[in-house]
Chain A
Amino acid sequence: MKRLAGWSLASPATLVVILFLMVPVAATIWTTFSAPNGPFASYVAFFSSGFRRTVLWRTIQVSVLTTAISLVLGFLTAYVVSRAPGWLKSILIIAAVFPLLTGVVVRSFAWLIILGKNGILNGFLVNTGLVAEPLTMLYTQGSVITAMVYLFTPLMILTLVGVLESIPDDLIQASASLGAKPSATFLQVILPLATPGLIVGAVLVFTGSFTSYATPQLLGGESQMVMGTLMYQQAMVTFDWVSASTIAAIMVVITIAIVLVMTRIARRLNPMAV
């Protein structure tokens, strides 16, 4: 009886997820294996194209660099936020939440104004005489990574503040009073305790960058194509749906593999777990 009540209440949402998420996504992945010339033909085609391999490799590079940089920036900042007095902490958290709730398009557009040929940074550099000619900053790997770091650092800060807050001050002071240098306290006390949070943050940022579309489209354009923009181009410009589905399947597999592997590692590394 209770089982029936539970199921009937959960069934509308369950059906929506199965019908409109699982079935369509499974169908997309299925089409990649049902090519006329063998089940793996579309993957062979993907990996034998030098251009596509370059795009995949670029996407991995951009995502790894974005994750690494936002881990460092987010960790430093989250540590200061977690040790800030109450009122300041609220302000700092609001200042991180605000960009996070502002859309991807708006935040990427901001960098278009800053890094453009007639942009603010070039204007500043030319006016101060630091460079003679405006630099080409837009549509480079650097511009994509800068905007992605900008996009994901708030997420990293917010993920880590909670974790770092739960490390008691006493523990850090105990370490110091027992003669550990600040660097030793950091490496042997703070870092191990923060590792599970760092992994969660890294997974969120890596999967987010790996599957992003708007930011690489606006700041990288055709010359800096990544998996997301390539998938869109294949699906909506050249109408090669098998190729687009193959890219989709690769994105799904990488996302799920990273989430599964990393959460397992996080669980094993958690020093608080017995």
Chain B
Amino acid sequence: MPTKLNPVLIGCSVLVYIFLVGPLIIVVGAALSDTTYLTFPPQGLSLRWFENIFEIAAFRRTIITSLQIALLSTGIALLIGIPAAYALNRYRIQLPGWLSTLFVLPVLVPELVLGFSLLKSVAIGFSAPIFVSLVIGHTLLVLPYVVRVISASLAAFDFSVEEAAISLGSPPLKTFFTIVLPNVRSGVIAAFILAFITSINDVSISIFLTGPGISTLPIQILAHVEQFFDPTIASVSVLLMALTVAVMAVVERTLGLTFLAK
């Protein structure tokens, strides 16, 4: 028999959920409004604010930059993160314990501090181009997710299967791609998705690294909000929410959403 819940408790949680979901519904409503100001419920339905996004050159540019940076940094993080996660699991006894802590460090260091430090050392110290600095910053931002998620799925992998393949004459690299990687495929997909969405939404690192000519979408949104108060930002927000829905659908397909609750 399941425990009976106090009705007051249930009432409180309903209110909390209204608090969580309500503001996002308001944003969607405001995006669909036919007015030149932000309002809810929408007055007259229109998609013109969505068209407006693509009429503003700054939005077109930053959407493309954000996608490029998210794809590149996620790609690099996977490229260096997968071997690291593999080594941490496969050679746990041979490697020092602090190594796994090292990959958690980017989470411990506040993003603002990382962004500012990269500005000083990489962007100005080495006068790296803005785009390169942004890719470096985002790679560090998403690396912990990649290493952690892939480590979690490698922990469930039985390495004796790999040893069996190698002892039967399969070369190590081929074994990795045909035996190990397919077994942690869902972990790789989840890592990709989480890293991608984290990069797309980042403000705290990018705010220091964007510069004249190159900016990311969230930074452009911040700049736009300070000057205009029209529904354009609401429609951009709806686009980003649509991306979130797509991401959740992929994670649900590959791992089940309860994975994200861990």
Of B45-53, B57-65, B80-88, B153-161, the one touching chain A: B80-88
Taking CB atoms, residues of chain A closer than 8 Å to B258 are 90, 93
Residues of B within 8 A of A252 (CB): 109-110, 113
The interface residues of chain A lying within 8 Å CB-to-CB of B83 are 9-10, 12-13
Pick the 5 closest A-B CB pairs, nearest first: A6-B91, A103-B201, A211-B110, A110-B23, A24-B117
- Cβ contact of B234, chosen from A2, A113, A172, cutoff 8 A: A113
* Interface pair B21/A162, CB less than 8 Å apart: no
Q: Does A83 lie at the interface of the complex (its beta carbon under 8 Å from any beta carbon of B)?
A: yes
Q: Among the listed A10, A79, A101, which residue makes an inter-chain contact with B87, where contact means beta carbons less than 8 Å apart?
A: A10
Q: Find residues 109-128 in chain B having any chain A CB closer than 8 Å to their own CB.
A: 109-114, 116-122
- Cβ–Cβ < 8 Å partners of B102 in chain A: 14, 17-18
* Residue A56 at the chain B interface, CB threshold 8 Å: no
| Given A27-B120, A214-B218, A236-B208, residue A112 in contact with residue B261 (CB < 8 A) | no
CB A84 to nearest CB in B, in angstroms, measures 9
Instruction: Compute how far the CA of A150 lies from the CA of B110 in the bound complex, rounded to whole angstroms.
Output: 20
Q: Give the residues in chain A near B88, CB-CB below 8 Å.
A: 10
Q: Point out the residues of chain B lying under 8 angstroms from A212, CB to CB.
A: 204
Taking the complex as formed, is B177 at the interface, i.e. its CB lies under 8 A from any CB of chain A?
A: no
Q: Are B116 and A113 in contact (CB under 8 A)?
A: no
Check A150 against B19 for contact (C-beta < 8 Å): yes
- Whether the Cβ atoms of A109 and B233 lie closer than 8 Å is yes
Contacts of A12 in B (CB 8 A): 79-80, 83-84
Residue of B with least CB distance to A100: B260
Q: B23 touching A102 by the CB < 8 A rule?
A: no
Determine the chain A residues whose CB is within 8 A of the CB of B17 once the complex forms: 77, 92, 95
Roughly how many angstroms separate A153 CA and B16 CA in the complex, as a whole number? 9
Contact: A76 with B203, CB < 8 Å?
A: no
Question: How far apart are the CA atoms of A10 and B244 in the complex, in Å?
Answer: 31
What is the CB-to-nearest-CB distance from B142 to chain A, in angstroms, rounded to a whole number? 12
Q: Shortest distance in angstroms between A212's beta carbon and chain B's nearest beta carbon?
A: 8
Q: How many residues of A contact B (CB 8 A)?
A: 90
Whether the Cβ atoms of B80 and A13 lie closer than 8 Å is yes
B122 / chain A contacts, CB cutoff of 8 Å: 20, 24
Q: Answer whether residue B225 sits at the interface, using C-beta atoms and an 8 A cutoff.
A: yes
Are B84 and A14 within 8 A (Cβ)? Answer: yes
B116 to A231, Cβ gap below 8 A? yes
B24-32, B163-171, B182-190 - interface stretch:
B24-32
Q: Does B222 contact A (CB under 8 A)?
A: yes
Say yes or no: A218-B108 contact (C-beta < 8 A), given A16-B140, A106-B237: no
Instruction: Name B1-47 residues within 8 Å CB distance of A.
Output: 1-3, 5-6, 9-10, 12-13, 16-17, 19-21, 23-24, 26-27, 30, 37-40
- A42 CB to closest chain B CB (Å) equals 15
Contacts A12-B80, A13-B83, A106-B241: A101 and B197 contacting too (C-beta < 8 A)?
yes
Which residues of A are found within 8 Å of B116, using beta-carbon distances? 28, 231, 235, 244-245, 248
Q: A2-B91, A25-B117, A28-B117 are in contact. Are A211 and B112 (CB under 8 A)?
A: yes
Q: How far is the CB of B100 from chain A (nearest CB, A)?
A: 10
Contacts of A99 in B (CB 8 A): 20-21, 24
A73 to B39, CA, bound (A): 28
B140 touches A76 (CB 8 A): no
Q: Is the CB of B257 within 8 A of A97?
A: yes
Interface string of A103-133 (1 = CB under 8 A from B): 1111101111110101110010000000000
Q: Does A201 contact B (CB under 8 A)?
A: no
Question: Any chain B CB within 8 A of the CB of A256?
Answer: yes
Binary interface encoding of chain B residues 199-215 relative to chain A, with 1 for a CB under 8 A from any of its CBs, else 0: 01101100110000000
Shortest B167–chain A CB gap in Å is: 15
Contact call A7/B261, Cβ cutoff below 8 A:
no
Q: Can you identify 16 A-B contacts, CB atoms within 8 angstroms?
A: A13-B81, A14-B99, A73-B12, A93-B260, A96-B20, A98-B24, A101-B197, A101-B248, A109-B233, A109-B234, A110-B237, A111-B23, A231-B116, A232-B208, A252-B110, A255-B108
Please report which residues of chain A, range 20-67, place their CB below 8 angstroms from some CB of chain B when the two chains form the complex. 20-25, 27-28
Q: Which of B208-262 contact A (CB under 8 A)?
A: 208, 218, 221-222, 225, 229, 233-234, 237, 240-241, 244-245, 247-248, 257-258, 260-262
